[in-house]
Amino acid sequence: KAGVTQTPRYLIKTRGQQVTLSCSPISGHRSVSWYQQTPGQGLQFLFEYFSETQRNKGNFPGRFSGRQFSNSRSEMNVSTLELGDSALYLCASSFTRGGGTEAFFGQGTRLTVV
Amino acid sequence: GDSVTQMEGPVTLSEEAFLTINCTYTATGYPSLFWYVQYPGEGLQLLLKATKADDKGSNKGFEATYRKETTSFHLEKGSVQVSDSAVYFCALIHQAGTALIFGKGTTLSVSS
């Protein structure tokens, strides 16, 4: 089974620009979550989508948005980029069954804002 | 709110040494608990999990037991290898939850 695929792996953007990151979950997984990883704040939850609906949202400004398509692929968008948005953005694909929820992560997209 | 606390790193060990990384949590109800590992330049890999009290998760020689009474989920390995050098994250998720809550991570460095 193919894993979680994130594209692109690396991005360099200028302050004020916007960026779109993509995530393809494991086949059959309907839940996709996004996390931001920085040295200072660690891993922080951005949002989660299930069947094209946002189910949960972390404490991030409205510049961070996402969506999910009918094939479960997800995108996240960051508008008006700031230097502090430089981070590793991780996507997780998950499923829930009797034994609880398991989340599987992609390799991440390294965003650098200059 | 819910939180996960891990021991501060880095942890530096010689090959074949015993490893313990402490993890405690604060949460209501009965969350599922996880250990993830991150190698340089990579995403997170699920190492092991436990979904209820007294469950023991194990994988690749690593073990952790879900202790409800002490709200802990300490990671252990009897004999570490150089290839175990990585950052380890303890995390929890609620039964009906959709967001993982992570500890700050513990860097492990193993030398030969």
pLDDT per residue over B88-97, tens digit each? Answer: 999 999 876 7
pLDDT of amino acid B29: 85
A81 Cα to chain B: minimum distance (Å): 23
Across the range B7-33, mean pLDDT stands at 94
* Weakest mean pLDDT among A25-29, A100-104, B15-19, B92-96: B92-96
Confidence grade of residue A85 (pLDDT, cut at 50, 70, 90): very high
Confidence grade of residue B98 (pLDDT, cut at 50, 70, 90): confident
Provide the CB-side half-sphere exposure for A27 (13 A, CA).
Answer: 2
pLDDT of amino acid A96: 80
Confidence grade of residue A59 (pLDDT, cut at 50, 70, 90): very high
pLDDT of amino acid B12: 97
CA-nearest of A23, A5, A12 to A85 is: A12
Does any CB of chain A come closer than 8 Å to the CB of residue B104? yes
Per residue in A86-103, pLDDT tens? 999 999 999 887 767 889
B46 and A55 in contact by Cβ < 8 A? no
B102 and A43 in contact by Cβ < 8 A? yes
- pLDDT greater than 70 at residue A1: no
- In chain A, residues with a C-beta closer than 8 Å to the C-beta of B103 are 42
- In chain B, residues with a C-beta closer than 8 Å to the C-beta of A102 are 46, 49
Which of B44, B45, B92 has the highest number of chain A CBs within 10 A, making it the mutation to test binding with A? B44
Does any CB of chain A come closer than 8 Å to the CB of residue B73? no
Which residue do the tokens 């929820």 mark? A101
- In chain A, residues with a C-beta closer than 8 Å to the C-beta of B95 are 100
Across the range A37-44, mean pLDDT stands at 93
Which pair of tokens denotes residue B12? 């530096």
Cβ-proximal residues to A20 (8 Å cutoff; 6+ apart), any chain: A75, A76, A77
**Neighbour count for residue B13 (Cβ, 10 Å):** 18
A45 and B36 in contact by Cβ < 8 A? no
Across the range A73-93, mean pLDDT stands at 97
First-residue to last-residue Cα distance in chain A: 37
pLDDT of amino acid A99: 65
B77 Cα to chain A: minimum distance (Å): 22
B97 Cα to chain A: minimum distance (Å): 8
d(CA A95, CA B34): 15
Of all residues in chain B, the one with the smallest CA distance to A47 is B99
- pLDDT greater than 90 at residue B28: no
